[in-house]
Amino acid sequence: MSRLLLLSTTFGLGLAFASDISSAVESPDASKIIAKDLLGPAKVFTMPKGCITDDKDAIARGEFIFQNLNGSKVKGKLPAGLAKTQMVQGKTYAPQDEIPPKQYGNCVACHNIEGAKGAGNIGPDLTSYHDLFIKSGARDNQFVYQKIADARIDNPNTHMTINLTTGLFTEREICDITSYIVSIKN
């Protein structure tokens, strides 16, 4: 109230008008949006049985998730078992509603790998990963799985995306991506 009075004397305007000025300024609260969006604590994940596979379809899905950002950009056919769109959990959709694009990994934004187009270099180059890291024993499948699921276990200050703790992917999808990375590529 005293602020309004001050305003109205400053401008020599009526009180009602001064209150208009304050309410004319958009200043919405964003704290709830941020609070709902926060990343949970770092989480340890163990590979489920049968996670790593040489199944062609699984590796194709893993490769596709690695190379692409989301379903809205995809032209042409997807690997079997992968969708272009995905409903948001807990939301109800009417028939005319648009279903949002399914998010993929966009790993190539930060990592180079065999056949990458426009790869970034924020993360290490994953080319020849099988030969350089798995065969040599420097890494094992579980390490790679955990890295993709929640990279903070290995490196608390990582700049890498968090993929399973956030619920962006399913366990199976993390297995598909891991299978792709550790596979022998030609």
Partner 1 sequence: MIGKKIILASALLGVLAFGGEQFAMSDSDRAMYAEMLENNPADILVESGNEALAEFCGGDAGLAKFLGVSEDDLPAYIAGFPRYVETLDMVAGLDQVLQALMAQNGHKPFALKSGDMFAMSAYAKSIANEEKINIDVTANEQMKAAYALGDEVFNTKRGGRGLSCMSCHSSAVIGSVLRTQPLPDLGSEANKAGATWPAYRMTKSSLRTLQRRFQGCMNNALLAVIPLGSPEMVALEVYVTDKAKGREIAIPGLKR
Q: Is 99 in the site for partner 1 (CB under 8 A)?
A: no
Least Cβ distance, residue 95 to ligand HEC (angstroms): 33
Place of tokens 């426009």: 118
Burial degree of 69 (CB within 10 A; 0-12, 13-18, 19+): middle
Q: Is 122 in the site for ligand HEC (CB under 6 A)?
A: yes
Q: Is 144 in the site for ligand HEC (CB under 6 A)?
A: yes
Q: What is the CA radius of gyration of the chain?
A: 24
45 three-class SS: coil
Check if the beta carbon of residue 132 is closer than 8 Å to that of residue 138. yes
Q: Which of 61, 83, 84, 81 has the alpha carbon at shortest distance from 73?
A: 84
Site for ligand HEC in 167-186 (CB under 6 A): 177, 181
Give the residue with the Cβ less far from partner 1, 56 or 73.
Answer: 73
User: Binds 144, which of ligand HEC, partner 1, none (CB < 5 to 8 A, cut-off by type)?
Assistant: ligand HEC
User: Binds 33, which of ligand HEC, partner 1, none (CB < 5 to 8 A, cut-off by type)?
Assistant: partner 1
First-to-last CA distance in the chain? 74
Q: Which of 18, 52, 71, 147 touches ligand HEC (CB under 6 A)?
A: 147
Interface positions with ligand HEC (CB under 6 A)? 66, 105-107, 109-111, 122-124, 133, 139, 144, 147-148, 151, 154-155, 158-161, 163, 177, 181
